[in-house]
Amino acid sequence: MARAETVGALPARELVSPGHLACQGCGAALAMRLVLKALGPRTVVVLPASCWSVINGPMLASAVAVPLLHAAFEAAGAVAAGVRAGLSLRGLDDVTVLAWAGDGGTFDIGLQALSGAAERDEDFLYVCYDNEAYMNTGVQRSGATPWGAWTTTTPIPRVKPHRKKDIVAILAAHRIPYAATASVAFPADLHAKVRRAAALRGTRFLHVLSPCPPGWRADPDQTIRLARLAVDTRIFPLYEVWGGADYRLTHRPRGLPVAEYLRRQGRFAHLTPEDVARVQAEVDTTWQRLLERCASTPRNRDTGRRDRKTSPAVGL
């Protein structure tokens, strides 16, 4: 499978038009652009309530050049299963069903429908674009909001006292064929993962960190920098999980101090040095656990996954 090593090698065709309604610097708009480039026009989007319900435009407008079905907030997994069934009855097995949900629609209200669909191994690609809070309604905490973050419902000094859910581990526990993290700051890696996912059948899951300048209290021109720092501080490492068991890193992060990431965002401005140290310790522990999982994965082991084509090992 061709792997785009650079942004310049990505497909030229744009399936997101410039007239969308996202805020300046929106990571979610960029994420959709990159994912649709990789999937191509034979795609149907299922869109539960999220920022993208607005970004795509009001009725009679649509920012994407593929069919898109708006859906109820908590229903993406089930609606996508139904759409898949309907398309397949029409012989459209080549069309990818893309469920596109935010972190609220995935970590919180949509988790049940997603879990049910994953357990049944429904045939779709589910992308969670994660901006780490309910941004469409004005920055309220979600199950994806990190510890210590300010939101409007976790105001200073009562900032979020709970950790972020490990959503990839939750999906991996369903032993779906493919789950991965991706970042808008690493478009080649993201592209390759979407292509790999598209070549599989069954439930595939992609977790894309999507910086939100208004919600993160950062300047719009910092989106890519923050997305890159999230990876290189190991807060959001890039990896994939095949068959729920085989973990592989797809990028070796630089291991920068988390303070480099935190200090650039107003939502963390209140954190004390002790708080930052706590975040660092948590990140270090989680990183070690990830390394152990990757180490216990025999390279190229046959995991019974159902590739349409052979997939290369993506080790480092």
Q: What is the DSSP string of 230-281?
A: HHHTTSS--EEEETTTEEEESS------HHHHHTT-GGGTT--HHHHHHHHH
Q: Which is nearer to other proteins, 39 or 182 (CB)?
A: 39
Q: Is 53 in the site for other proteins (CB under 8 A)?
A: yes
CB of 78 to other proteins, least distance (A): 4
Q: Is 143 in the site for other proteins (CB under 8 A)?
A: no
Q: Which is nearer to other proteins, 56 or 151 (CB)?
A: 56
Q: Is 140 exposed, middle or buried (0-12, 13-18, 19+ CB in 10 A)?
A: middle
Q: Which residue has the tokens 């300010």?
A: 150
CB of 262 to other proteins, least distance (A): 35
The CA distance from 263 to 300, in Å, is 40
The CA distance from 248 to 234, in Å, is 14
The only residue of 29, 35, 113, 180 in contact with other proteins, by rule CB under 8 A: 113
CB of 36 to other proteins, least distance (A): 11
Q: Is 43 in the site for other proteins (CB under 8 A)?
A: yes
Q: Which is nearer to other proteins, 54 or 170 (CB)?
A: 54
CB of 123 to other proteins, least distance (A): 11
| Residue 12 neighbours by CB under 8 Å, 6+ apart | none
The only residue of 69, 224, 256, 294 in contact with other proteins, by rule CB under 8 A: 69
CB of 124 to other proteins, least distance (A): 10
Q: Which is nearer to other proteins, 56 or 210 (CB)?
A: 56
Name the 3-class secondary structure at 84. helix
The only residue of 57, 143, 214, 266 in contact with other proteins, by rule CB under 8 A: 57
The CA distance from 313 to 303, in Å, is 12
CB of 97 to other proteins, least distance (A): 9
Q: Which is nearer to other proteins, 70 or 217 (CB)?
A: 70
Site for other proteins in 71-100 (CB under 8 A): 71-72, 74-75, 77-90, 92, 95
- Strand 96-102, strand 124-130: pairing: parallel
CB of 100 to other proteins, least distance (A): 12
The DSSP letter of residue 122 is -
- The CA-based angle 211-247-132, given to 5 degrees, is 20
CB of 229 to other proteins, least distance (A): 34
The CA distance from 146 to 161, in Å, is 9
Residue 157, preceding peptide bond in cis (omega within 30° of 0): yes
- Binding residues for other proteins, rule CB under 8 A, total 47
Stretch that binds other proteins, among 57-65, 149-157, 174-182, 252-260 (CB under 8 A): 57-65
Q: What is the DSSP string of 127-176?
A: EEEE-SSBTTTTSB--TTSPTT--BTTB-TTS---SPPP-HHHHHHTTT-
The CA distance from 309 to 311, in Å, is 6
CB of 80 to other proteins, least distance (A): 6
Q: Is 19 in the site for other proteins (CB under 8 A)?
A: no
Name the 3-class secondary structure at 101. strand
The only residue of 3, 10, 23, 115 in contact with other proteins, by rule CB under 8 A: 115
Give the footprint of other proteins on this chain (CB under 8 A).
41-44, 46, 53-54, 56-62, 64-72, 74-75, 77-90, 92, 95, 112-113, 115-116, 119-120
